[in-house]
Amino acid sequence: MTKDGKFEAIGVVGCGLMGSGIAQACATAGYPTQVAEVSEERLKPGLESIRKSLEKFQSKGQISGEQAAAIQGRLRPTTRLEDLAGCDLVIEAIVENLAAKRELFARLDGRLRPEAVFASNTSSLPITEIMTATRRPERFVGLHFFNPVALMPLVEVVRTVATDAGVYEQVVAFAASLGKTPVRTGDRSGFIVNRLLIPYLLDAVRALEEGAGSMEDIDRAMKLGCGYPMGPFTLLDFVGLDTTYYAAEIMYNEFRERRFAPPPLLKRMVLAGWHGRKAGRGFYDYRQPGPPRPVALG
Ligand code: 3HC
């Protein structure tokens, strides 16, 4: 950490869809970035997606070959949490499971300096409940990125009742240093974006079930009528039906309001393994080449 409180070395735990994007954003902003995963097999696809993303930016002339190489050079992949010992800020982006996150942070707590700051990229779990696995509640925040991280300019910075005001400002400044726009929010399930986005996505499923229109027409309507970049079913497939379902369940448990309750159709699709684009099938079928086709929902 510099004398004026700027983070110098970053650690990212989890190199999946979000973790790899976050690590890429940190390395692109010039930070030496340790990227930790449980195994080499789990590291490989994440690092590959970073390479592909940088290649796209390079092919569009947005970065040079030297810059892409320098970004990759700042990434330090590891399968040992000990290698994060020197980090000033660790951002966790592992599976959306409270027990797993608490266990990870408890292990990190014993390995990192007491001044180091911890952040979770959870989309809906209470930051406070993750934080209590550590002995540094005042140095614990939420740092919620959006998919695809390389393109989405927003970061929600989440404070708990225990977060130190100075630490919070340090993290807000860090988010801005990534070239992102930070927004400040409190520790309420879903923060700002998912609190508004999840009920909208669930409502689209209800609208479909109630016969308001076909899947394609609902998508078309929201895209062309509201200027959204993706219609709700395309976005559900993009975010993941499983991710949306789990976030909705957590928010429903927090607020006990019907608008957060996942509709039965969404639950059935998750149970069937139709998790969206990553599974090859969700509301649309991506398994054949060419434009995705709407699936027939029995
Ligand atoms: N790195 C580099 N380039 C990338 C990329 C990445 N990771 N992902 C996509 N691109 C490129 C594409 O290759 C494409 O390049 P091309 O123009 O040369 O073909 C370019 O970006 C534009 O992509 P698309 O052609 O696919 O089309 P769009 O213009 O629709 O842009 C989008 C893509 C930015 C994803 C846009 O559709 C969008 O903003 N969608 C909404 C996304 C959204 O709402 N995300 C938030 C989800 S909620 C969330 O994450 C929270 C969680 O808690 C649930």
Please indicate, yes or no, whether residues 32 and 177 belong to a single structural domain of this protein: yes
Q: Which of 151, 186, 221 is the last residue in one of the domains?
A: 186
Identify the active-site residue in 49, 120, 156, 275: 156
Please indicate, yes or no, whether residues 35 and 119 belong to a single structural domain of this protein: yes
Q: Check residue 30 and report its DSSP letter.
A: T
Instruction: Tell me which of 1 and 202 has the higher pLDDT.
Output: 202
Q: Is 40 designated active site?
A: no
Nearest CA to ligand 1 atom 13: 56
CA distances from 194 to 96, 198, 224, 244, 285 (A): 14, 5, 22, 9, 25
Domain assignment of residue 254, given as a range: 193-293
Res. 43: pLDDT tops 90: yes
Tell me if 2 is assigned to some domain.
no
Q: What is the pLDDT of residues 213-223, one digit of tens each?
A: 999 999 999 99
Average pLDDT over residues 280-298: 94
Task: List phi, psi (to 5°) of 33.
Answer: -130, 115
Say how far residue 138 (Cα) sits from the centre of its chain.
Answer: 23
Q: For position 229, which CATH number holds?
A: 1.10.1040.10
Average pLDDT over residues 138-147: 98
Instruction: Determine the pLDDT at residue 88.
Output: 98
Which H or E run contains 155?
strand 154-159
Q: Which of 186, 214, 247 is the last residue in one of the domains?
A: 186
Query: Residue 4: which pLDDT band, with cuts at 50, 70 and 90?
Result: confident
Tell me if 22 is assigned to some domain.
yes
Instruction: Determine the pLDDT at residue 10.
Output: 98
The answer to whether residues 185 and 158 touch, using CB atoms and an 8 Å cutoff, is yes
CA of 7 to the centre of ligand 1 (A): 28
Please indicate, yes or no, whether residues 140 and 37 belong to a single structural domain of this protein: yes
Place of tokens 């992949």: 77
Q: What is the pLDDT of residues 56-81, one digit of tens each?
A: 999 999 999 999 999 999 999 999 99
Q: Is 214 designated active site?
A: no
Please indicate, yes or no, whether residues 180 and 213 belong to a single structural domain of this protein: no
Tell me if 5 is assigned to some domain.
no
- 229 close to ligand 1 (CB < 6 Angstrom): yes
Residue whose CB lies within 8 A of the most ligand 1 atoms, among 124, 149, 152, for a mutation test: 152
Q: Which atom of ligand 1 is nearest to the CA of 18?
A: 50
Two tokens at 236?
């559900």
Please indicate, yes or no, whether residues 146 and 53 belong to a single structural domain of this protein: yes
Tell me if 298 is assigned to some domain.
no
Q: Is 144 designated active site?
A: yes
- 246 close to ligand 1 (CB < 6 Angstrom): no
Instruction: Determine the pLDDT at residue 1.
Output: 79
Res. 5: pLDDT tops 90: no
Instruction: Determine the pLDDT at residue 124.
Output: 92
Please indicate, yes or no, whether residues 279 and 254 belong to a single structural domain of this protein: yes
Please indicate, yes or no, whether residues 92 and 145 belong to a single structural domain of this protein: yes
Kindly report which listed range (3-17, 133-147, 230-244) carries the lowest average pLDDT score. Answer: 3-17
Torsion (CA) 232, 238, 242, 243 in degrees, nearest 10 = -90
Nearest partner of 123 among 34, 248, 36, judged by Cα: 248
Q: Classify the C-alpha dihedral 20-89-40-54 as positive or negative.
A: positive
Instruction: Determine the pLDDT at residue 224.
Output: 98
Q: Give me the number of domains the chain comprises.
A: 2
Work out the percent of the chain whose per-residue pLDDT is above 70: 100
3-class secondary structure, 12: strand
Instruction: Determine the pLDDT at residue 86.
Output: 97
Instruction: Determine the pLDDT at residue 73.
Output: 98
Please indicate, yes or no, whether residues 104 and 218 belong to a single structural domain of this protein: no
Concatenating the DSSP letter of every residue in 50-116 gives HHHHHHHHHHTTSS-HHHHHHHHHHEEEES-GGGGTT-SEEEE---S-HHHHHHHHHHHHHHS-TT-
Q: Which of 136, 168, 186 is the last residue in one of the domains?
A: 186
The answer to whether residues 44 and 66 touch, using CB atoms and an 8 Å cutoff, is no
Instruction: Determine the pLDDT at residue 297.
Output: 86
The answer to whether residues 257 and 249 touch, using CB atoms and an 8 Å cutoff, is no
Identify the active-site residue in 123, 124, 189, 275: 123
Res. 2: pLDDT tops 80: no
Q: What is the pLDDT of residues 119-137, one digit of tens each?
A: 999 999 999 999 999 999 9
Instruction: Determine the pLDDT at residue 206.
Output: 98
pTM of the model: 0.95
Average pLDDT over residues 250-278: 97
Please indicate, yes or no, whether residues 229 and 166 belong to a single structural domain of this protein: no
Res. 154: pLDDT tops 80: yes
Please indicate, yes or no, whether residues 48 and 141 belong to a single structural domain of this protein: yes
